[in-house]
Chains A and B, each alone.
Chain A
Amino acid sequence: MQIQPIIAALRRHRAGTVLIALQIALTLAIVCNALFIIHQRLAHLSEPTGVDEANLFVVDSQWADQSSDHQIDSQIQSDLAALRQLPSVRDAAPSNSYPLRGGGWDDFITMTPEQVEKTTDASVYISDEHLIDTLGVTLIAGRNFRPDEIVPMGENDSKPPPVAIVSKALADKLYPDGSALGKTFYTMSTTPMTIVGIVERLQRQEVDTWSRDYAYQDMLWPRRLDNQGGTYYIVRAKPGRLAAAMRDARKALLAQNRMRIIDPEDGVLSFAQIRHRAYDSDRGMAILMGIICAVLLVITGAGIVGLTSFWVGERRKQIGIRRALGATRHDILGYFLTENFLISSAGMALGVLLALAINLWMILHVDMARLPLAYLAGGAVLLLLLGQGAALAPALRASRVSPVVATRTV
């Protein structure tokens, strides 16, 4: 296949060539970045929490009257007894927060009390010895809390407990050699905290970008937190009884004490609902990028079909002469597909540069990661196929031009 005549012919149709190449370049740039964004967002929202999401729900119970810490503590204990007795409930635990809530208590961790810069950051879950069974997380080392270790903790008394259970991610971060069990660390206090147990995986309370470096690092404190505002009850229903358990839990708690507020809309949330809310914007971004990608590819493809058809129309005489001089249908087809290939390649070269430029802008301004080469390669292949596919129909039509056209003056 002679490339020279093709390029010479293209020089006479500069405008069309530039337009197709430019379209392919821009489409490649946007499609590569859009696919990367989709992949990142989908990866983010499929991160596992480590808990038994299918059977979990959370009750947000706010106190409606003023009580002493002692009164609140007794109330919480009665509430828990009532919840655990429900036939549809397997276990329940009080907590200050829960995974994917969107925010919560987190502390800096240091290895010595004099250390000023933090070693790392960990989410704090304050609960009793039922939390591990309620969440469904696996204890892989050490022990659970003993009932006698769970003491009340008032709002203005944030003295941390002497022992804690940590997640494996935190244990490995603090003691990379794997010897975390029984060792100590300091959590914004002069009192050391001893690791008595390690759970396999538990997600933090927020999954924002700022805490990405501290993912899955949390600690469990054996305390019953008696806040004036209220508390969360994390409840694990028996398999298949989630809906019933959610209804029963609300009724049981209101029966225990009418002076509480459990919001009718989001007072009782299943974990599916919690997950849905936590990843609203990620899901939305992925959908938007997906729609734009799909429509963009269709429009670019259709545009190439249109423009190539136009050219074929312009060069009917040329094609007829070639056929009359002995070119086969196959030659004509090859000619147009090669022409499209050359233009696409030029477009893709420019497109790769544009894709990287857009990615660089996003890294600087909206906290994006670097675009992996796999996406550029994949995008290029995709657009090449699109271009060739789009050019196929007009090229076939061109190959059907009969040699007789050469002899006509029209």
Chain B
Amino acid sequence: MFAYYLDLAIRSLKRNPALTTLMVIAIGFGVAASMITYSVFRAVSGNPIPDKSSQLFTPQIDSWGPQQNLEGEPPEALNYVDAMALMRAHAAKRQTLLYPVGLPVLPGGNGSLPVKGNGYAVYGDFFPMFEVPFRYGSGWDIGQDNARAAVVVLSEEFNRRQFGGANSLGREIEIGGHDYRIVGVTRHWNPLPRFFSLFGENGFDEPADFYIPFTRAVDLQIRTNGNNSCRGKVNDISGWDNYLHSNCVWIDPWVELVNAGDVARYRGFLEGYASDQQRAGRFGWAPNVRLRDVTQWLEYRKVVPPESRISLLVSLGFLAICLVNTIGLLLAKFLRRAGEIGVRRALGASRREIYMQFLMEAAVVGLTGGLLGLLLTAAGVSGVGLLFKPQIARLAHVDLSLVALTLAVAVLATVLAAFYPTWRAAQVQPAWHLKTN
């Protein structure tokens, strides 16, 4: 019967090409708009590190007080004094501080052309915490952090650009006017969004070129390439040491806490630290601390650009209107054939069979609309650079799951829209329609 219904459906659709075309176009556009905006939304709102996102936490401590903080919320990064206090206390299994750095790189020493390099100053724990994969070598350990060693880990892309992708372990590279020994080369690693560094970055930039020790960077007085936010008489502060002791926040802290007990203990530690500072007179207010895991942090920092959210919702609204449109057109289409339905019912077809016939017709319309939608989606995704910032537009891509989703949404939505018209068709009384003809 399946083939028979299919045949009936196609015949019926061919009988009124204008109506069919209109329905297919409506569904095609509605599905395409939704899928294009969804592909962007999916790219920017995913969990960047799903197997560890509930174990990685970022602490925040209010060092500015109720009159100068962010409407009651503590600042979004730490200052140097608080950050170092957290590291010294070692209240978590693994911990790191980090900040973005932008430095010129001379790969071959004198005589080679300098290039712009973007990297991060991190602690050795960064690599195991974030599960950074290595192609050659590895990161460094706490001993080298404490020794302020001049070591560097390169990214695969940077290694390819500078050394042709060869094993560059042990070689020296000049970054920001100082030499570093290469101890590791990572594989391609670019979690999106880059949850660990959102203070002054939007989370969707190109992957980092290199990673150097935080301790060494601070020793060399390398300033952050991200945000630096201060309160009070900051312009009266001169010199690097005074800067480090100011209330300027610029450091992203991350800790690894394995179970709920660890989390509770660490939260207690943060509160304890803040009340110690209050007692010592450094903070003139009650403890105001936060401890957020990766997903909570992404939500709090509003990583998903509002454009992406708005366009997804408008597209879904558009799809809804296209479906209401389809309901109306299908209703018109089906009820026009009341006579035909009457004959079928009189000849013994059950209501169920009428349902099957018309739902099949709707499915065919849905599938055709879905195929049109697929073409439009492919065209749209390649042109999405017109609609979103280039860094984000880059992330939208058509893959197998999107194709399957497009067709599934089109068919299911059309079939859903067809329920009411089909029900009306199935209610047709054979006797009435046989009489007038």
Q: B residues bordering A, Cβ < 8 Å?
A: 19, 22, 25-26, 29, 33, 37, 67-68, 102, 104, 106, 114-116, 176-178, 200, 221, 223, 225, 230-240, 243, 305-307, 309-311, 314-315, 317-318, 320-322, 324-325, 327-329, 331-332, 335-336, 386-390, 420, 424, 436
Instruction: Please name all residues of chain A whose beta carbon is closer than 8 Å to the beta carbon of B420 when the two chains form the complex.
Output: 15
Partner of A292, one of B177, B237, B318: B318
Contact at A307–B329, with CB atoms within 8 Å? yes
Answer whether residue A191 sits at the interface, using C-beta atoms and an 8 A cutoff. yes
A-B contact pairs, 12 of them (CB 8 A): A15-B420, A117-B67, A159-B235, A160-B235, A188-B234, A260-B114, A281-B307, A281-B389, A289-B314, A296-B318, A303-B329, A310-B331
A66-B176, A107-B235, A365-B309 known; A303 and B314 CB under 8 Å?
A: no
| Chain A, residue nearest B391 (CB) | A280
Further 11 A-B residue pairs, CB within 8 A, beyond A287-B386, A303-B325, A306-B329: A26-B320, A63-B104, A281-B307, A281-B388, A285-B307, A288-B314, A292-B318, A295-B318, A303-B328, A314-B335, A366-B306
Interchain CA distance A22-B388 in the complex, whole Å: 31
| Chain A, residue nearest B321 (CB) | A26
Contact at A30–B389, with CB atoms within 8 Å? no
Which residues of A from 350 to 376 have beta carbons under 8 Å from B? 358, 362, 365-367
Contact at B315–A366, with CB atoms within 8 Å? no
Answer whether residue A177 sits at the interface, using C-beta atoms and an 8 A cutoff. no
- Measured CB to CB, the closest approach of chain A to B380, in angstroms, equals 10
A285-B307, A300-B321, A313-B336 known; A292 and B176 CB under 8 Å?
A: no
Q: A residues bordering B, Cβ < 8 Å?
A: 15-16, 19-20, 22-23, 26-27, 29-30, 33-34, 37, 62-66, 103, 107-108, 113, 116-117, 155-160, 187-191, 228-229, 259-261, 263, 280-281, 284-285, 287-289, 292, 295-296, 299-300, 302-303, 306-307, 309-310, 313-314, 358, 362, 365-367, 409-410
Contact at A296–B321, with CB atoms within 8 Å? yes
- Measured CB to CB, the closest approach of chain B to A68, in angstroms, equals 12
| Chain B, residue nearest A281 (CB) | B307
Partner of B221, one of A22, A156, A187: A156
A281-B389, A303-B329 known; A261 and B115 CB under 8 Å?
A: yes
Interchain CA distance A228-B101 in the complex, whole Å: 12
Contact at B305–A281, with CB atoms within 8 Å? yes
A15-B331, A62-B116 known; A159 and B314 CB under 8 Å?
A: no
Interchain CA distance A183-B37 in the complex, whole Å: 52
Instruction: Please name all residues of chain B whose beta carbon is closer than 8 Å to the beta carbon of A358 when the two chains form the complex.
Output: 317
- Measured CB to CB, the closest approach of chain A to B228, in angstroms, equals 9
Contact at B22–A302, with CB atoms within 8 Å? yes
A19-B327, A63-B104, A156-B238 known; A190 and B233 CB under 8 Å?
A: yes
Instruction: Please name all residues of chain B whose beta carbon is closer than 8 Å to the beta carbon of A409 when the two chains form the complex.
Output: 436
Instruction: Please name all residues of chain B whose beta carbon is closer than 8 Å to the beta carbon of A313 when the two chains form the complex.
Output: 336
Interchain CA distance A23-B420 in the complex, whole Å: 16
Contact at A158–B237, with CB atoms within 8 Å? yes
Contact at B240–A156, with CB atoms within 8 Å? yes
Interchain CA distance A178-B264 in the complex, whole Å: 56
Contact at A307–B388, with CB atoms within 8 Å? no
Best-surrounded residue of A66, A156, A259 (most CB of chain B within 10 A): A156
- Measured CB to CB, the closest approach of chain A to B401, in angstroms, equals 23
Interchain CA distance A156-B235 in the complex, whole Å: 10
Contact at A306–B328, with CB atoms within 8 Å? yes
A306-B329, A367-B306 known; A188 and B235 CB under 8 Å?
A: yes
Instruction: Please name all residues of chain A whose beta carbon is closer than 8 Å to the beta carbon of B221 when the two chains form the complex.
Output: 156
| Chain A, residue nearest B25 (CB) | A299
A280-B389, A303-B325 known; A188 and B314 CB under 8 Å?
A: no
- Measured CB to CB, the closest approach of chain B to A289, in angstroms, equals 7
Contact at A189–B321, with CB atoms within 8 Å? no
Instruction: Please name all residues of chain A whose beta carbon is closer than 8 Å to the beta carbon of B320 when the two chains form the complex.
Output: 26
Contact at B238–A29, with CB atoms within 8 Å? no
Contact at A26–B317, with CB atoms within 8 Å? yes
Mostly, the A contact residues are helix
Interchain CA distance A237-B240 in the complex, whole Å: 38
Instruction: Please name all residues of chain B whose beta carbon is closer than 8 Å to the beta carbon of A65 when the two chains form the complex.
Output: 104, 114, 177
Contact at A16–B328, with CB atoms within 8 Å? yes
Contact at B424–A156, with CB atoms within 8 Å? no
Instruction: Please name all residues of chain B whose beta carbon is closer than 8 Å to the beta carbon of A108 when the two chains form the complex.
Output: 231
Instruction: Please name all residues of chain A whose beta carbon is closer than 8 Å to the beta carbon of B327 when the two chains form the complex.
Output: 19
Interchain CA distance A284-B176 in the complex, whole Å: 38
Contact at B238–A19, with CB atoms within 8 Å? no
Best-surrounded residue of B37, B318, B320, B424 (most CB of chain A within 10 A): B318
Interchain CA distance A278-B234 in the complex, whole Å: 29
Contact at B68–A280, with CB atoms within 8 Å? no
Partner of B324, one of A19, A113, A159, A188: A19
| Chain B, residue nearest A160 (CB) | B235
- Measured CB to CB, the closest approach of chain B to A393, in angstroms, equals 12
- Measured CB to CB, the closest approach of chain A to B285, in angstroms, equals 13
- Measured CB to CB, the closest approach of chain A to B382, in angstroms, equals 14
Contact at A158–B177, with CB atoms within 8 Å? no
Interchain CA distance A65-B335 in the complex, whole Å: 80
Contact at B33–A292, with CB atoms within 8 Å? yes
Interchain CA distance A37-B387 in the complex, whole Å: 14
Contact at A261–B234, with CB atoms within 8 Å? no
| Chain B, residue nearest A314 (CB) | B335
**Would you list the 7 A-B pairs with minimal beta carbon distance, nearest first?**
A66-B177, A64-B114, A310-B332, A284-B387, A303-B325, A189-B235, A19-B328
- Measured CB to CB, the closest approach of chain B to A207, in angstroms, equals 14
Instruction: Please name all residues of chain B whose beta carbon is closer than 8 Å to the beta carbon of A284 when the two chains form the complex.
Output: 307, 386-389
A19-B328, A281-B307 known; A116 and B235 CB under 8 Å?
A: no
Interchain CA distance A30-B177 in the complex, whole Å: 56
Interchain CA distance A117-B64 in the complex, whole Å: 12
Interchain CA distance A189-B233 in the complex, whole Å: 4
- Measured CB to CB, the closest approach of chain B to A361, in angstroms, equals 8
- Measured CB to CB, the closest approach of chain A to B114, in angstroms, equals 3
Contact at A159–B236, with CB atoms within 8 Å? yes
Instruction: Please name all residues of chain A whose beta carbon is closer than 8 Å to the beta carbon of B236 when the two chains form the complex.
Output: 159, 188-191
| Chain B, residue nearest A260 (CB) | B114
- Measured CB to CB, the closest approach of chain A to B34, in angstroms, equals 11
Partner of B310, one of A113, A156, A299, A366: A366
Instruction: Please name all residues of chain A whose beta carbon is closer than 8 Å to the beta carbon of B389 when the two chains form the complex.
Output: 280-281, 284
Interchain CA distance A303-B325 in the complex, whole Å: 6
Contact at A306–B237, with CB atoms within 8 Å? no
Instruction: Please name all residues of chain B whose beta carbon is closer than 8 Å to the beta carbon of A365 when the two chains form the complex.
Output: 309
